[in-house]
Amino acid sequence: MQADRSEELTEEDIGHMLTVISTDGYYKQAMIVKVGCPVCFEEFLGTKRHAGGFIAGHRAYHEFDDKSNILMERA
C-alpha cells in the first residue's frame, strides 16, 4: 500500500502530469492544478478531481453559511 501522493505535492507540481495514488483510487496521468476559493481565499493543490470537490465543498459551505447568517439576523 503506497502513501497518498497528494500530501507530498508542492507548487512545482502545478501543471505537471502525475500518477497519483489516493485513498479513493488511482489517478493515472492526473494534471496537478491549484485553485482558490473566491469567498474565503483558501487554496487547494491537487488533481482536478479533488479540486472539483474542493470547489463544490466550499460553494456548499459558503451557501450554508450565508443562509445561517440570514437566519441569525432574523432571530
Question: Among residues 21 and 55, whose Cβ is nearest to Zn ion?
Answer: 55
Q: Which residue is nearest to Zn ion (CB)?
A: 37
Radius of gyration of the chain measured on its C-alpha atoms? 16
Question: Among residues 36, 2, 30, 26, which one has the least CA distance to residue 16?
Answer: 30
Question: Among residues 17 and 39, whose Cβ is nearest to Zn ion?
Answer: 39
Q: 24-53: which residues touch Zn ion (CB under 5 A)?
A: 37, 39-40
User: What whole-number distance in Å separates Cα of residue 11 and Cα of residue 72?
Assistant: 40
Question: Among residues 8 and 63, whose Cβ is nearest to Zn ion?
Answer: 63
Q: Which residues bind Zn ion (CB under 5 A)?
A: 37, 39-40, 58
